[in-house]
Amino acid sequence: MVHFIGAGPGDPELLTIRGKRLIDEADVIIYAGSLVNPAVLKDAKKDAKIYNSASMHLEEVIQVLKEAEEQGKQAVRVHTGDPAVYGAHREQMDALDRLGIAYDVIPGVSSFLATAAVLKKEYTLPGVSQTVILTRMEGRTPMPEKEKLVDLAKHQATMVIFLSVGQMEELAGQLMTAYPPETPVAVVYKATWEDQKIVTGCLADIARKVKEAGITKTALTVVGNFLGSEYELSKLYDKHFTHEFRKGIS
């Protein structure tokens, strides 16, 4: 049985208890060295074989997992954040399916949730936005025709943009086709790592500020009025609102 593990955003204490146990018990560990904090592996077995997937292609990753399985060794595949978000995860699961190798998935704290935590914000503010769009800009991997940033921006929902901080000027430009230029933006570099950086601004000035801060990768851009200070109080905790677990005061 192979375990796919979400390693969380960086801080090794943000790993699930199960994820940590399986890493610590593993004989073979493949991790995404470019983004997974090596501190997540600090209690691995002394003789565990550790592979950095940054220099491996898909077939090599699968080959290592297959050999481990054949030798009765316990293998874990450690992804940054949660494997379900830009993790190139599905293709690995499908390859294991074809080989008849069983696996399970232990979720992790995605960087988009760690980003809200370090900003101390809520993505879904009543009366502001109740929808969160996770997306990225078109880069070397194209975007599906129906998911162009300019179309997604029309909703003016909370937007979380992965993988695109290197193209900040173009990103802000495309968003300003729909959001007003004064819409607040935050860019969080390496959320929860020791060298985390936060840059805040609005669509009109964020590209300049990000450039000044020298941020070119490993950052998320979050956009929307959820970063502002105006919103409605929630109905859930409204004292006049009755729901299943509490009677409202009339």
In degrees, rounded to 5, the angle at the alpha carbon of residue 222 between the alpha carbons of residues 221 and 224 is: 145
C-alpha separations of 145 from 54, 139, 142, 150, 152 in Å: 29, 14, 9, 11, 11
Q: Determine if 82 is a binding residue for ligand SAH (CB under 6 A).
A: yes
Q: Determine if 224 is a binding residue for ligand SAH (CB under 6 A).
A: no
- Tell the smallest beta-carbon distance from residue 120 to ligand SAH (Å): 15
DSSP character string of 76-121: EEEESB-TTTT---HHHHHHHHHHT--EEEE----HHHHHHHHHT-
What are φ and ψ of residue 233, in 5° steps? -70, 155
Q: Give pairs for 55-61: CB < 8 Å, separation 24+.
A: 56/30, 58/88, 58/91, 58/92, 58/95, 61/30, 61/92
Stretch that binds ligand SAH, among 14-22, 44-52, 76-84, 172-180 (CB under 6 A): 76-84
Q: Determine if 143 is a binding residue for ligand SAH (CB under 6 A).
A: no
**Shortest-Cβ-distance residue relative to ligand SAH:** 81
Residue from 21, 24, 25, 35 binding ligand SAH (CB under 6 A): 35
Residue from 190, 202, 223, 227 binding ligand SAH (CB under 6 A): 190
Q: Which residues contact 84 (CB under 8 A, 6 or more apart)?
A: 6, 105, 107, 110
Nearer to ligand SAH, 3 or 190 (CB): 190
Q: Determine if 78 is a binding residue for ligand SAH (CB under 6 A).
A: no
Q: Determine if 12 is a binding residue for ligand SAH (CB under 6 A).
A: no
Residue from 168, 220, 222, 223 binding ligand SAH (CB under 6 A): 220
Site track 148-187 with ligand SAH (rule: CB under 6 A), x = hit: --------------xx------------------------
- Tell the smallest beta-carbon distance from residue 188 to ligand SAH (Å): 5
Q: Determine if 87 is a binding residue for ligand SAH (CB under 6 A).
A: yes
Binding residues among 90-109 for ligand SAH as defined by CB under 6 A: none
Half-sphere exposure of 210 (CA within 13 A, CB side): 29
Nearer to ligand SAH, 88 or 236 (CB): 88
Say how many C-beta atoms besides its own lie within 10 A of residue 41's C-beta: 19
